[in-house]
Structure 1
Amino acid sequence: MDFMIHLDGSRVYDLPAEERDEIIKREHAHAHELIAKGVLKHIWRVPGQRGNVGIWAAADADALEQVLSSLPIRPHADIQVTPLATHPLTLELADDHS
C-alpha cells in the first residue's frame, strides 16, 4: 500500500547544533536504508520549507507507523499521512510509457 507522507522536520533546528547534526546524520543513513528496502519510493523537497513530501510503501497503516516511529527525527517532526488508492488512469499511464 502506498502513502503520501509530508514530513516537516524543522523543529530539529531548535536543538543545539551538535545534537541536531547527529540526528540529521542518522536520519540520512536511515533514509538510505528505507530506499534500499523499497519503503521510501520517491521524495521531494518542498521549496521554501525544511519539509519534504514522499511516497512510502508499507503493508498497512500499522506497518507504516512502525517505520515512522523508527525515524531518528520523529520526536522533532510533524508528519501528515495520506493513504493512496490506485487511480483508474494508472494502467493507461503505464501503457503510455511502455
Structure 2
Amino acid sequence: MEFFVEMVTTVPAGTSEEEVDEIRAREAANSARLAEQGHLLRLWRPPLGPGEWRTWGLFRADDAEQLERVLETMPLRVWRRDTVTPLSPHPNDPALRNS
C-alpha cells in the first residue's frame, strides 16, 4: 500500500545549528536505509514560504500501522507533524497500463 505523507518540521527555538546539522545527517542516512528497504519511494520539496521546512513523501508499507513504525524511525520526527493520506490505484493510472 502506498501513502502520501506531508511532513512539516518545526525546529524548537534555541536549538543549536550543530544539533540541527546532526539530526539532519541522521535523517538523510535513515532515509537512504528506508529507500533500500522499499519503504521510502520518493521525496519532494514543495514551494516554501519564509522559514517553512516542509517535505512531501511517497511511502510504501503493508498497512497504516507499519507506516507508523517506519515514520517513527525518522530522527526529525521529534520536531515534525505528519499528515498521512492512504493512496489507492486509479483505474486510469498510466503506470498500470505499463505493467
Pairing partner for 2:70 from 67, 77, 84: 67
Tell me the matched-pair count: 94
**Pairing 1:38–2:38 present:** yes
- Identity among equivalent pairs (%): 37
Instruction: Name the structure 1 match of 2:84.
Output: 81
Deviates more, 1:77-86 or 1:44-53: 44-53
Q: 1:13: Cα distance to partner?
A: 6.4
Instruction: Name the structure 2 match of 1:4.
Output: 4
**Pairing 1:22–2:25 present:** no
Alignment gaps of 5+ in structure 2: none
Alignment gaps of 5+ in structure 1: none
Which has the larger share of helix? 1
Q: 1:35: Cα distance to partner?
A: 1.1
Preserved CA contact (<8 Å) 1:12 1:73: no
TM-score scaled by length of structure 1:
0.87
